[in-house]
Structure formats: structure tokens, C-alpha cells
């Protein structure tokens, strides 16, 4: 089973919808995995932030596709996908949605769950609460998440922890900077570009080299679901 923790659909930087309806005050929703492939989950993201997937990403969800392959090989039964809105403003809200999701997973007989999320900030508390609630019901969980770590990789990789989070797969850091060389060819009328869209954001010559402070400034720059093939080994 996949549990997708999704930030408040009422926020313009999230914009995730289920059959065209924003996911706002909804409690956890169980869907068939085929609904992902059919385009039932869409996004109208208007800000270019690297840790928010496009509609194409939802339709080609790498974890869902891999679970289907494992099911076809007879190694597991893919029970379904649970969509959970996170980023509640109160601890009570976070606890309610976490237990609601765990209860729904238990009702469908899930033995284990991959927990993923999109967003940042205190929404990660909701994710950890959900993981803990599932473990308390005997549902083994594996969290798939990006890390922070700072530009040098020495800061705390996650914002919040619970003891039950003992199986975590890292998809890499969103904080590491990127050095982009000068482009050989420029298409378009602009001599300057603004990486950030807020009023007064500094402009950079379009033909110059570019330094980005973090990977989340590039759409698709943060691998939230483990779609990339790169791995890290400690020797």
C-alpha cells in the first residue's frame, strides 16, 4: 500500500486535486492504484518548486508502478493508495488525520505501507504522526523522503522524528546548491531572468553562468518518490 501525504490543497503552492476537487479539509481517501495512472490526481501548481510533482509525475508514480511489478511477480498484493491531506495548523488536526489514515489502512487489511509526502515545513510532523499511528496498529511502514541537511550536508536531515521511524529511504538532499554553466544557446526575448518570482527579486543575465542555492528551485530537482537511479553508499 502507498500512503501519499499531501499538503493543504487550499495553498496555491500545492494545488493537488482528486477528480478536479482540491484536497482541503478532506480526511484520508482510499483510491485504486489505477486511478493514479488514469489521471484522477492532478496538480495546478503555479510556483516552480522542485518538491511538488506535476500531473505527469502522478500518472507515472514510480512507487505505484514498481508495486504493480512486484504484484505481477507474485511477491506482494498491492492493496491500494491512500491520499492524506497534511499541514494542519494544530496538533489536534495532525493527530486526527494520522489516526484516520491508519484506521483506513487497517480496515483494508494492509500489512505494510510505503509513506511518501510532498511539501515542507511543519507538514512533516503530520507525516511522522501518520507513520507512528500505522506502526501502533501493527502496519509496518517505510518512509520515502528527501532530506534537508543544509548546503554542506551537515545539518539535521529531517525536521522531526518519532522512534517508530526505523525504516527510512532517502531520495537525496534538496538543500545542495547547483552550479549551472553559461548556456550555449538562448531561446526567447529575455536578456535577464529572475529565478525567484517575488517582486524585487534579483535579475541574472540570461547568458551568464548561474548558481542556485538549492535543488528545490528547479522543477523536478528534488526526487520525492525515488524515481532517480542514483544511490549513496557508506564505506
Q: Sketch the domain layout of the chain as residue ranges.
A: 2-175, 178-212
| 68 pLDDT above the threshold of 90 | yes
Buried b (16+ CB within 10 A) or exposed e, 207-234: eeebebebbbbeebbbbbbbbeeeeeee
108-140 pLDDT per residue, tens: 999 999 999 988 889 999 999 999 999 999 999
Give dist(CA 78, CA 182) in Å, integer: 46
Radius of gyration of the chain (CA): 19
pLDDT digits (tens, 9 = 90+) for 148-180: 888 777 888 999 999 999 999 998 888 888 888
Mean pLDDT, the chain, integer: 86
d(C-alpha 138, C-alpha 156), whole Å: 28
Asked whether the beta carbons of 140 and 111 are under 8 A apart, the reply is yes
So what's the pLDDT on residue 14?
56
Provide mean pLDDT across the span 2-14: 61
Note whether 158 and 124 are within 8 A (CB). yes
155 vs 153: CA distance, rounded Å: 6
Q: Which residues contact 171 (CB under 8 A, 6 or more apart)?
A: 144, 145, 146, 147, 222, 223, 224, 225, 226, 228
Q: What is the pTM of this model?
A: 0.84
pLDDT of residue 101: 96
Residue-wise pLDDT tens digits, 24-64: 767 899 999 999 999 999 887 555 577 788 888 899 999 99
pLDDT of 232 strictly over 70: no
Amino acid at each position: 500500500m502507498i500512503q501519499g501525504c499531501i499538503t493543504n490543497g487550499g495553498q496555491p503552492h500545492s494545488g493537488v486535486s482528486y477528480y478536479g476537487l482540491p484536497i482541503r479539509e478532506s480526511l484520508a481517501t482510499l483510491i485504486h492504484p489505477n486511478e493514479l495512472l488514469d489521471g484522477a490526481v492532478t496538480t495546478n501548481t503555479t510556483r516552480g518548486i522542485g518538491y511538488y510533482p506535476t500531473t505527469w509525475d502522478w500518472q507515472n508514480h514510480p512507487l505505484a508502478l514498481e508495486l504493480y511489478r512486484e504484484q505481477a511477480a507474485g511477491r506482494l498484493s498491492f492493496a491500494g493508495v491512500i491520499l492524506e491531506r497534511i499541514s494542519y495548523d494544530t496538533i489536534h488536526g495532525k493527530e486526527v488525520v494520522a489516526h484516520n489514515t491508519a484506521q483506513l489502512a487497517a480496515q483494508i487489511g494492509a500489512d505494510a505501507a510505503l509513506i511518501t509526502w510532498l511539501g515542507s515545513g511543519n507538514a512533516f510532523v503530520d507525516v511522522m504522526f501518520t507513520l507512528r499511528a500505522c506502526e501502533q496498529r501493527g502496519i509496518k511502514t517505510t518512509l520515502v523522503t528527501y532530506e534537508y541537511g543544509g548546503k554542506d550536508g551537515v545539518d539535521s536531515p529531517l525536521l522531526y522524528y518519532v522512534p517508530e521511524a526505523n525504516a527510512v529511504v532517502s531520495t537525496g538532499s534538496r538543500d545542495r546548491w547547483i552550479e549551472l554553466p553559461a548556456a550555449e544557446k538562448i531561446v526567447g526575448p529575455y536578456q535577464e531572468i529572475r529565478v525567484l518570482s517575488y517582486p524585487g527579486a534579483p535579475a541574472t543575465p540570461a547568458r551568464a553562468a548561474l548558481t542556485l542555492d538549492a535543488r528545490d528551485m528547479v522543477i523536478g530537482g528534488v526526487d520525492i518518490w525515488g524515481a532517480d537511479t542514483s544511490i549513496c553508499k557508506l564505506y
